[in-house]
Structure 1
Amino acid sequence: MADKPPKKGKLLFKGDKKEKKKKRKHRDEEDRDQAQLTEDGWVRVDGLDDLVGPVFITHPSDPTVCLTVDENDRFLAYPLPEDVSSEEPMIVNQVFVGARSVGSTQRFTFKSYLGKFLSSDKVGVTRCDREAISGPEEWEPVITEAGVAFQNTYGKFMMVDQVANGGFKIRTDAEEIGFCETFRVFCQARFKYKRKKESKEKKFNADRAELDNVKKNQSWGGGKLHMTREDSKRLKKAKAEGRMNEAMLDRRSMMKADRYCK
């Protein structure tokens, strides 16, 4: 049988050091690095939860403008240069901090870097120089496919208006939502993805709730679940209505597995 031909490759000489093979980065590390890159910077707001925290509010006019407050509390529609990204602020003056009003999930307040609140009066004059929160400082954002509209406590919408000298002015007296009333709002990506992750973890799981109940209070079935699809729906409905404990007690009573439940 003929000898096999030698494999072709780089010639090695005595005393030469072998080249170390480059280790390929583990996929988990690559995914982690990619996630880190994704969570840097600013991303579009697509839900009310994204408005909690630092936000950058722009309008796609020509040129694009952003809401800005100067050192003298003057509220301005600042035109962004063409060579500057319209998706993230250049200076802290362009950043507002959104927060939900106490006792409400729909109403928000927006505070400037100077600690003053964005407000609007009955005739639509919009400013950012209020130090305390009352009705005029509360806003109800409306999420649309095109962006975000801001409705004041008097039912009017904030809008961008072009003035005679070619500049822009912000006022809040529009009756309906149109192009001038629709803003593009950006939030910090790391806060957005963190909230989404926490929301996913807190999502109610009826099977898990029932299993915890079995382990804690019951002994039937050797700790196994007896849960139908209808049972799961019934518990989810009870959770939404705020009577979860009552519903769980009813289940224990019907299963007759815990003599202490009656």
Structure 2
Amino acid sequence: MSEYHKVRVSKLILKNEKVKKKKKKDKSKNNDPKINKEESIDKISHGNWAEAKIISEISGPIALEFGNQTYVTAMDNGLFTLGPPHNEGDGPLPEEILTAIAINETRVAFKSGYGKYLGVDKDGTIVGRSDAIGLLEQFEPIFQDNKLAILASTGCFISIRNEDDSLVAMSRTAGSNEIVKVRLHAPENTEEESNVLDEKKGNIKDIEKNYVKMFQKFQDKKMRVIEGKHSLLKKAQKEGKLHESLLDRRAKTKADRYCK
């Protein structure tokens, strides 16, 4: 796991030699009954929380598992630590559940149960104190050899610090301490999903409108949205800074409970 870039080696083709086309295998479906059985047992032993195998699966309610049956838990001071070990068949506790939000095909953001986004502090400590997704709140899950390590924006992988069991990002290489499992759980209803901003759905005006709905109080039943051109928002969306830009625009409204 210390190196993630693979060198692609191709077969030497001689002159006049016919090249046989290989049929592409559908990797999205696993037809191996043994593997499917193992995954099913693993899911049941973790309270119906399955292990993520690809980046696109990391979305919605998730839990970060370091070791076996131990999950990262959020504290009310914005810090994160490793929770107590769970019994077989038990899923993560509410304070151990995060919300994963896809930023693009390679990066995600995590939101704690306190409604704050996870980011990296100056000393490498992972904190959850941000109201918007900036560069420091973006993480890159990297899969290799059926193992996962999560790269923070600082170029270091997240892990649990042995001294105090706190969540940090301090190592530039991924060893055994940096191996993590992302546990997934399908919500029983879609009410919670409607509160998560999907920046890929609708045009930029609809995105901002949905974002404002998440935070304004609406005492007078009127939603306040900043009027004007949305070109800056479109630019921020391409650069992966949409949430930061939306937060700046929200700060100009008086009805927002976070940006008065």
What letter is aligned with 1:177?
Answer: A
Q: Which of 47, 70, 82 pairs up with 2:54?
A: 47
What letter is aligned with 1:74?
Answer: L
Counterpart in the other structure of 1:76: 81
Task: Confirm or deny: 8 A CA contact 1:54 1:95 kept in the other structure.
Answer: yes
Q: Which of 149, 154, 172 pairs up with 2:169?
A: 172
Q: 1:123 to 1:72 in 2, by over 3 A?
A: closer
1:57 equivalent to 2:64? Answer yes
Q: Secondary structure at the match of 1:141?
A: strand
> In 1, Cα distance between the equivalents of 2:143 and 2:125?
23
> In 1, Cα distance between the equivalents of 2:116 and 2:145?
30
> In 2, Cα distance between the equivalents of 1:148 and 1:131?
27
Give the deviation of 1:85 after TM superposition: 4.3
Structure 1: where are the runs of 5+ without partners? 1-34, 192-262
- TM-score (normalizing by structure 2): 0.50
1:133 equivalent to 2:133? Answer yes
| Higher share of residues assigned helix | 1
Q: 1:145 to 1:190 in 2, by over 3 A?
A: farther
Task: Confirm or deny: 8 A CA contact 2:158 2:169 kept in the other structure.
Answer: yes
What letter is aligned with 2:170?
Answer: D
Q: Which of 89, 98, 102 pairs up with 1:100?
A: 102
Task: Confirm or deny: 8 A CA contact 2:81 2:160 kept in the other structure.
Answer: no
Counterpart in the other structure of 1:196: none
Structure 1 runs (4+) deviating above 4 angstroms are: none
Q: Secondary structure at the match of 2:76?
A: coil
> In 1, Cα distance between the equivalents of 2:96 and 2:162?
20
> In 1, Cα distance between the equivalents of 2:144 and 2:70?
19
Give the deviation of 1:148 after TM superposition: 2.0
1:236-251 equivalence runs, <5 A: none
> In 1, Cα distance between the equivalents of 2:63 and 2:146?
16
Task: Confirm or deny: 8 A CA contact 1:56 1:94 kept in the other structure.
Answer: yes
Give the deviation of 1:146 after TM superposition: 4.8
Identity of aligned residues (%): 21
Q: 1:72 to 1:170 in 2, by over 3 A?
A: closer
What letter is aligned with 1:155?
Answer: G
- TM-score (normalizing by structure 1): 0.50
Give the deviation of 1:140 after TM superposition: 0.7
Counterpart in the other structure of 1:21: none
Give the deviation of 1:178 after TM superposition: 1.0
Q: 1:74 to 1:173 in 2, by over 3 A?
A: closer
1:188 equivalent to 2:185? Answer yes
Q: 1:65 to 1:190 in 2, by over 3 A?
A: closer
1:112 equivalent to 2:102? Answer no
Residue-pair matches, total: 145
RMSD between aligned residues: 2.7
Task: Confirm or deny: 8 A CA contact 1:56 1:187 kept in the other structure.
Answer: yes
What letter is aligned with 2:161?
Answer: D
What letter is aligned with 1:161?
Answer: R
> In 2, Cα distance between the equivalents of 1:162 and 1:146?
24
Structure 2: where are the runs of 5+ without partners? 1-39, 189-260
Q: 1:98 to 1:180 in 2, by over 3 A?
A: same
> In 2, Cα distance between the equivalents of 1:116 and 1:190?
20
Give the deviation of 1:70 after TM superposition: 2.4
Q: Secondary structure at the match of 1:162?
A: coil
> In 2, Cα distance between the equivalents of 1:56 and 1:144?
20
What letter is aligned with 1:106?
Answer: T
Task: Confirm or deny: 8 A CA contact 2:149 2:179 kept in the other structure.
Answer: yes
What letter is aligned with 1:95?
Answer: I
| Higher share of residues assigned strand | 1
> In 2, Cα distance between the equivalents of 1:95 and 1:142?
21
